[in-house]
Amino acid sequence: MFNLISRTGYSIKNDVLSGLTVALALVPEAVAFAFVAGVDPLVGLYAAFMVGLITSVFGGRPGMISGATGAMAIVMVSLVADHGVEYLFAAVVLTGIIQILAGIFKLGMFIRMVPYPVMLGFVNGLAIVIFLAQLGQFEVVNATGIKEWMSGETLYWMLSMVILTMLIIHYLPKLTKAIPSSLAAILVVSGIVIFLDAPIPNVIDYVRAESGDVNATLAAGLPSFALPNVPLSLETLKIILPYSLILAAVGLIESLLTLSLIDEMTETRGKGNRECIGQGSANLVSGFFGAMGGCAMIGQSMININAGGRGRLSGITAAIALLMFILVGSQWIEQIPLAALVGVMFMVVLGTFEWASINMMNKVPKSDAIVIILVSGVTVLADLAIAVIVGVIFSALVFAWKQAKRIYAKKHINENGSKIYELHGPLFFGSTQHFQDIFTPKTDPQDVIVDFLDARAYDHSAIEAIDTLAERYQRNGKTLHYRHLSPECRLLLKKAGNLVEVNLIEDPDYHVVDSALA
């Protein structure tokens, strides 16, 4: 998987250079997501700096890049539109608190329960989202102020520089690995465009087109501490709490899935609960410094890993370099052609998409293929959190359906004329109907024994099914015996309790999930 990614060891030089590369790619992304959320570009840039720095220092996954993301920006937009940016800052603070609590209570471990087909759908869907996002860079504002697709000389220059960027990224590592190929591609293409005065837009053109301000600039000072200017009241909490819960869930899902992805790529193991605390701390601080918060960014993380970034220094370098761009280097960063950054992101798309999953479709179970397509589609059409939740629920239902069909019984008549049902398999909510269909009370002999030695009752639905079966045999005037039920099962049985044969030596001891035992 992800064979476009080279696995290299830790290197300070690689971390620094890959961090610089990531910082360049962070600028248009942070600006774009700020516009999506309906806030000033600096709100997104400050978020990229603070979230990136804090998670790199305190997070659970060295080499992973965090910042302002589209998944969270989409949730923020209605809050900003209805209540203003100060309520957004308050919501980001609360988001951080929720995420920290998730880490303290070790909820990060649940990401390990995400099935592999969901993971494939996640990376494929996110690759498509990244690709579609880059298409917006091929739009320009005409003389009337309306956006339209590039054409003529501008389009030819744009396409040629994108292709040149991709070629440099692909072939340079075959010649030398002294400098990250993505960084080299950005520098070379920027030099060509500036020297030849090519008619293609650069970063500041994009900022001014999106903001509608012809004098807009990325230059600014340090972010300053300030409490969100909102009333400290229950009414404020009612407004921000729903948004904070969604932001916290979206941020953690995207961060922990990206963590798992990088774990696989680097053959190392990150710490999910520590990442929850790191992400929460970053958002908590962001809200107090006028930033929009964020989470892990799979695109920038892929750029970092591909450029050789493995340690925390890569993320720290990216964050500090981004701040330096804002403080003293904005005039240079604003001149970077969008074509170079689009080319870098297109290579990220190629490296992120799991091409082998296309060939897998005819080899894996149909249910797994459906999950991959379903999660990919929902990621593109809705958002990541919904896609993962839908994928996990669908996978769980498929698993339950398959397990439900595994229960069966071996039947025979013993020397006393009693019919023995030797049950095998799990008895739970999904298999109760199959369990009932096994038995034939009307045609069975007078004495029937149901042996649970190789079966397990897992929930309250199973207990109800056992009780119901006892009623069926009683209505037909038959004698029913249950063997090898656990003590908990006997405790929960109401109607069939007196039908259970107790054998303290042979009877198993296993736990049943039921609220009545709490």
Instruction: Look at residue 295 in the predicted model and tell me its pLDDT.
Output: 94
Least confident stretch, 231-245, 387-401, 501-515: 501-515
DSSP state of 190: H
Contact indicator for 315, 56 with CB cutoff of 8 Å: yes
Rounded to whole angstroms, how far apart are CA atoms 258 and 510?
37
Average pLDDT of the residues of the chain: 87
Q: Residue 132: pLDDT above 70?
A: yes
Q: Residue 231: pLDDT above 90?
A: yes
Instruction: Look at residue 510 in the predicted model and tell me its pLDDT.
Output: 63
> Over the stretch 313-362, which tens digit does the pLDDT of each residue have?
999 999 999 999 999 988 888 999 999 989 988 988 888 888 888 888 88
**34 contact partners, CB below 8 Å, separation of at least 6:** 40, 41, 42, 43, 44, 45, 47, 68, 73, 292
> Over the stretch 169-203, which tens digit does the pLDDT of each residue have?
999 988 887 788 888 999 999 999 999 999 999 98
Q: Residue 58: pLDDT above 90?
A: yes
Scan for tokens 């969008």, then name that residue. Answer: 338
Answer left, alpha or beta for residue 212, where phi above 0 means left and psi between -120 and 50 means alpha. Answer: left
Rounded to whole angstroms, how far apart are CA atoms 157 and 168?
16
**124 contact partners, CB below 8 Å, separation of at least 6:** 353, 354, 357, 372, 375, 376, 379
Rounded to whole angstroms, how far apart are CA atoms 474 and 452?
20
pLDDT band at 97, cuts 50/70/90? very high
DSSP state of 108: G
Return the axis-axis angle of helices 234-266 and 70-83, rounded to nearest 10°.
Answer: 170
> Over the stretch 252-296, which tens digit does the pLDDT of each residue have?
988 998 998 898 888 888 898 999 999 999 999 999 999 999 999
Instruction: Look at residue 2 in the predicted model and tell me its pLDDT.
Output: 39
Contact indicator for 374, 118 with CB cutoff of 8 Å: no
DSSP letters, 397-451, are HHHHHHHHTT-EEEEEE-TTS-EEEEEEEEESTTTHHHHHHH--TTTS-SEEEEE
Q: Residue 242: pLDDT above 90?
A: yes
What is the helix, strand, coil percentage profile of the chain, to 5? 65, 10, 30
The mean per-residue pLDDT over the stretch 140-167 comes to 90
- In percent, the amount of the chain with pLDDT more than 70 equals 93
Cα 180-311-331 angle, rounded to 5 deg: 50
Contact indicator for 318, 20 with CB cutoff of 8 Å: yes
Instruction: Look at residue 514 in the predicted model and tell me its pLDDT.
Output: 59
pTM beyond 0.95: the answer is: no
Tokens of 270: 């990150």
Tokens of 357: 């999953």
Within 13 Å of residue 244, how many CA atoms lie on the same side as its CB? 25
Q: Residue 494: pLDDT above 50?
A: yes
Instruction: Look at residue 504 in the predicted model and tell me its pLDDT.
Output: 44
| Coil, strand or helix at 5 | coil
In order of their start, the domains of the chain are 12-375 (no CATH), 405-517 (3.30.750.24)
Return the exposure string of 73-105: e unless at least 16 CB atoms fall within 10 Å of the residue's CB, then b: bbbbeebbeebebbbbbbbbbbbbbbbbebbee
Rounded to whole angstroms, how far apart are CA atoms 106 and 117?
24
Rounded to whole angstroms, how far apart are CA atoms 244 and 232?
16
pLDDT band at 515, cuts 50/70/90? low
Q: Residue 465: pLDDT above 70?
A: yes
Rounded to whole angstroms, how far apart are CA atoms 13 and 24?
17
Instruction: Look at residue 512 in the predicted model and tell me its pLDDT.
Output: 67
Q: Residue 500: pLDDT above 70?
A: no
Instruction: Look at residue 482 in the predicted model and tell me its pLDDT.
Output: 87
Instruction: Look at residue 133 in the predicted model and tell me its pLDDT.
Output: 82
Q: How far apart are the first and last CA of the chain?
A: 44
Instruction: Look at residue 5 in the predicted model and tell me its pLDDT.
Output: 42
**273 contact partners, CB below 8 Å, separation of at least 6:** 60, 103, 104, 106, 107, 108, 109
Q: Residue 240: pLDDT above 80?
A: yes
Instruction: Look at residue 499 in the predicted model and tell me its pLDDT.
Output: 58
Q: Residue 9: pLDDT above 70?
A: no
> Over the stretch 412-464, which tens digit does the pLDDT of each residue have?
999 989 999 999 999 999 999 999 999 999 999 999 999 998 998 888 888 88
Scan for tokens 């892929």, then name that residue. Answer: 302
Rounded to whole angstroms, how far apart are CA atoms 339 and 348?
14
Instruction: Look at residue 52 in the predicted model and tell me its pLDDT.
Output: 96
Nearest to 301 by CA among 125, 131, 72, 64: 64
Q: Residue 518: pLDDT above 60?
A: no
Question: Between residues 83 and 77, which one has the greater pLDDT?
Answer: 83
Question: Between residues 510 and 191, which one has the greater pLDDT?
Answer: 191
| Strand-strand pairing, 295-296 and 408-413 | unpaired
Q: Residue 502: pLDDT above 50?
A: no
CA dist list (Å): 76 to 44, 140, 291, 357: 12, 26, 12, 33
